[in-house]
Amino acid sequence: MPTPTLVLILGDQLSPDISSLGGADRTTTVILMAEVAAEADYVWHHRKKLALVFSAMRHHAAALREAGWAVDYVTLDDPANSGSLAGEVARAIVRHNACAVVATEAGEWRLRSEMADWSAALGVPVTIRQDDRFLCSEADFAAWADGRKALRMEYFYRDMRRRTGLLMEGDQPAGGQWNYDAENRKPAGRDLMMPRPRRTPVDAVTADVLAMVAARFPERFGSLDDFWFAVTSGDAEAQFDAFVAEALPRFGDYQDAMLTGEPWLYHSIIALYLNIGLLDPLSVCQAAERAWRDGAVPLNAAEGFIRQIIGWREYVRGIYWREGPDYVHRNALAATRPLPEFYWSAATDMACVRACVEQTRDHAYAHHIQRLMVTGNFALLAGIDPHALHLWYLAVYADAYEWVEAPNTVGMTQFADGGLLASKPYAASGAYIDRMSDYCGGCRYSVKAKQGAGACPFNRLYWPFLIRHADRLSRNPRMAPMYRTLGKWGPERRAELVADGEACLQELRI
C-alpha cells in the first residue's frame, strides 16, 4: 500500500469542497479530525458553542466516511489525546506512516502562525492551501485597500455587488440605490407575529457531545439546555430555507429592533453555520436575491441581508488579515478598566445589559445591534479595556471566530483602531436603546433622567465620554453636532458631568 498523505480538517472547515481535499485520492489519503483541549480552552468558550462545533465535526466525519474517505477521528475524551493539534498531527503521522500533511490555512493568526512551523517540527512536508470559501481573497482585499485614504465598508460592498452581480441591473444597483439601511430601523412591537427558527432535534451523536461537554466543562459559561442548532449542512440549509420563507420578508424593517424575551425576531441565525462551513455564503445570498426577484421579499430586506454577508463579513475578514496579529491589542482611546463581572453573571440593574447577557448565556447568540449598541456601547462609554471585551465576545457567541469578531469589536464597537474601520465611535445615550427596544420600560433606571443615581447609566456616561476624548473626536465631522452642544456648556457644567460619570462607575463597581 502506498504511503498515505494526511489531510487535516479543522473544526471550522466542515465544507465538502474544502481546499485541503482538492485533488486528493481516496485510496491514498487519510483525513484527520481532532477535538483538542488547546482549541477548546484558549478562551472560555460558551458550552453551546463547544457542543455545536464538536457535534458538527462528528457528523461531518460520518459524512466523509459515507463518501468513501478514510477518516481518523480523535475525540476530546480519548485518553491518548495529546491536547493540541500539532500533537494529534504528530501522532497520526506515526499511526499511518504518513509521508506528508495537507491542510487548509487556519482562520486566525494564532493558529496560522503555529502551523507555519509544522514542516520543521513534524519532519514531513506540510502544505498549507488557501481557504477559497470566501468571495474576496486576502490578496484581492489588499489590492482593493491599497492607496485608499479610508477603508469604508460601503465602497467595498459596492465593488462586491459588481463582482458577484448580486442585486444588479446591468451596471446599476437594483432599485437605483446601493443601500436601503435607512428603511431598516423600525422598532418592533409586541403585536408582531414573529417566526421562530426551525429547530433541529438532538440525535444520539449530539446527545453524546452534550453529555461530554457538561462533564468536561461544568464551570464554563453558558447553558446547554434546549440545544437546537443544526449540526449538518442539510439541517443548516433547512433552517436557512425556513428563514427565507418566514422571516426574511420582514428582516429588513426590523433588523435593528430589540425586544425582551424575543432573542430571534426576524434574524437568520446562520452566521454560526457560515463560519464553520455548513453553509456557502454565495449560495445563501443568491437564494435571498431569488426570493426578491420572485416577489416574495421586499428589496430592502434582500439588500440588508446580502450586505451583511458580501459586505460586512468579507470586509472584516479583509481588515483582520491586512492589519496583522497586533490588531486585537489596539487601544486608540486608552481604555483600561476591567470587564465588569456582570458581563458573565448578568447581575446588573441595567435592564438592557441584563437582557443581552442573559440571552447570550442561554443561547450563545445576540444580534448585531445588541452587541453594538448595548454591550459594546456600554463598554465604550465606560472605558473598558477593548482587548478584554474582545476576549469576551470571542468566548460567548457561537458564531465568534477571531477573523470576524475582532474587527467588529476592536474597530466597530470600541473605535480602538482609531477609526480605521468605523467613521465614528458608536457611542449613544439611553435614548437610542429606548427608541429601538422595550428594555427601558422595565428598568430600575430612568432613561429620561440625565444625571444622578436613578438616571440611566448610558446617559450619565455619554457626555463624560465625549469630554474625555474631545481632542481626538471633536474634529470628526460626524461628531460635530454633539460637540457643538458640548461647546455651549462652561467648565463648571462639564466638571459636573464628569463627576457624575465617575460616580456612576463607582456605583456600578467598575
Prediction pTM value:
0.96
* pLDDT tops 80 at residue 188: no
Question: Would you list the domain boundaries of the chain?
Answer: 5-129, 138-195+247-323, 342-507
Contact 252, 300 (CB under 8 A): yes
Grid look-up 489588499 returns: 142
What is the CATH superfamily name and number for domain 342-507? Answer: DNA Cyclobutane Dipyrimidine Photolyase, subunit A, domain 3 (1.10.579.10)
Instruction: Assign 1 a pLDDT band (cuts: 50, 70, 90).
Output: low
Mean pLDDT, to the nearest integer, of 37-51?
97
CA distances from 123 to 20, 98, 142, 301, 435 (A): 19, 11, 33, 52, 61
Report the CATH number of the 5-129 domain: 3.40.50.620
Cell of 127: 502544505
Report the CATH number of the 138-195+247-323 domain: 1.25.40.80
Tens-digit pLDDT profile for residues 211-258: 999 999 999 999 999 999 999 999 999 999 999 999 999 998 898 999
Contact 332, 394 (CB under 8 A): no
Q: Cα 443 to chain center, whole Å? A: 28
Cell of 436: 429601538
Tens-digit pLDDT profile for residues 458-474: 999 999 999 999 999 99
Mean pLDDT, to the nearest integer, of 167-183?
91
* pLDDT tops 80 at residue 94: yes
pLDDT of residue 286: 98
Q: Do domains 138-195+247-323 and 342-507 have the same CATH topology?
A: no
Cβ atoms within 10 Å, residue 1 = 6
pLDDT of residue 192: 66
Cβ atoms within 10 Å, residue 137 = 16
* pLDDT tops 80 at residue 194: no
